[in-house]
Amino acid sequence: MRKTFTLEIELGNEAMRHKTDIETALQAVARKFHGPGLIEDDGGRIFDENGNKVGHWSSDEVEPEDGDET
């Protein structure tokens, strides 16, 4: 069994158009993982500076595909 991390952000709304908007959203997610320890959450939502949901992240355990040793 291996663990994956997936992050998706939808671009285009008024508060998610510039590189700095993406940077702010990524920093908010990164703060959840600051410090030692295991990833304990299964996922979460990502919001823009106006409080609108613009994406999500998830951490999942997946079965390796045939031939995938990792």
Q: What pLDDT digit, counting tens, does each position of 11-66 carry?
A: 999 999 999 999 999 999 998 887 776 667 778 999 999 999 999 999 888 777 76
**Predicted confidence band at 3 (pLDDT cuts at 50, 70, 90)?**
confident
The per-residue pLDDT for 69 is 60
Residue-by-residue DSSP string for 52-63:
-EEEEEEEEEEP
Q: What is the pTM of this model?
A: 0.74
The per-residue pLDDT for 67 is 64
Residue 68 domain-assigned (yes or no): no
Residue 69 domain-assigned (yes or no): no
The range of the structural domain enclosing residue 12 comes to 2-62
Q: What is the count of structural domains for the chain?
A: 1
Residue 67 domain-assigned (yes or no): no
Strand partners, 18: none
